[in-house]
Amino acid sequence: MIGNMISKIRKEKGITKTKLASLTEINIGHLTHIEKGERNPSHKALKSICSSLNIPYQQLLYTYDKELTEEQQNYDYINYVSYNTVPAISKIDTYLQCPSEFSNASFAYKVPDNTMAPIIKEGSYAFVEINGLLSHKDIGLFRLNDTYLIRRLFYKRGKFILKANDKQVKDITISSSDHFQIIGKIYIS
């Protein structure tokens, strides 16, 4: 996935592969292998790539060693992964012991409502892996316009659909006019 992200970002920024190779001092052949997903960049190379693309290193690092499924590729999943934003935290309530089975968790998010009860209850903490890949029916943390939601992600007829466990909460079908971002995968025990 990291190669797909580098290629996507490079193209969005209008930088040729030749120019990026020159900026990073990475051989163009090696850069091509990285973008095709045939090789992962070293951390030093990734830092150089991020610096040259003017994006945060850590956000791209979260995509390291992850592979997009065919279904995720078909739904352009990569277009909803954040690479140039980081969470803004206004208050730290506490530090939590991270269970070993959630070793990929990046932070814990305090659940603001009961829409995912009984699996995740209001006031509890959900462990989030930033840029964690979500498969069909996985639970994730999403940004939809200016709202943050914990929902199940469904792939249906070329669209993403967010569903709450609470059947009284209306499903949300993501449209092209929505500002939609996949923040990460939620881990639950």
Give the domain CATH number at 26: 1.10.260.40
CA distance linking residue 135 with residue 27, whole number of Å: 34
Q: Half-sphere exposure (CA, 13 Å, Cβ side) for 32?
A: 4
Q: Is the pLDDT of residue 90 over 90?
A: no
Q: Taking residues 1-23, report their average pLDDT.
A: 96
- For 63, the domain range is 2-67
Q: What is the pLDDT of residue 102?
A: 93
Q: Is the pLDDT of residue 42 over 70?
A: yes
- Give the total number of structural domains in the chain: 2
How many other β-carbons are positioned within 10 Å of the β-carbon of residue 25? Answer: 9
Q: What is the pLDDT of residue 187?
A: 93
Structural element, H or E, at residue 60: helix 57-61
Q: Taking residues 109-131, report their average pLDDT.
A: 94
CA distance linking residue 137 with residue 126, whole number of Å: 16
Residues 6+ apart with CB under 8 A from 65: 2, 40
At residue 65 the predicted structure's pLDDT band, cuts being 50, 70 and 90, is confident
User: Which range is least confidently modeled, 15-19, 39-43, 84-88?
Assistant: 84-88
DSSP lists the bridge partners of residue 110 as 125
Residue 33 within any structural domain of the chain: yes
Q: Taking residues 180-184, report their average pLDDT.
A: 95
- Please state, rounded to an integer, the average pLDDT across all residues of the chain: 94
Task: Using a cut of 0.75, tell me whether the model's pTM lies above it.
Answer: yes
Please report how the helices 2-12 and 43-53 are oriented relative to each other, as an axis angle in degrees rounded to 10. 20
Q: What is the pLDDT of residue 6?
A: 96
At residue 17 the predicted structure's pLDDT band, cuts being 50, 70 and 90, is very high
Domain end (from 67, 90, 119): 67
**Percent helix / strand / coil, the chain, rounded to 5:** 30, 20, 50
Within this chain, do residues 181 and 111 fall inside the same structural domain, yes or no?
Answer: yes
Q: Is the pLDDT of residue 54 over 70?
A: yes
Token pair, residue 106, equals 């990046």
Within this chain, do residues 54 and 106 fall inside the same structural domain, yes or no?
Answer: no
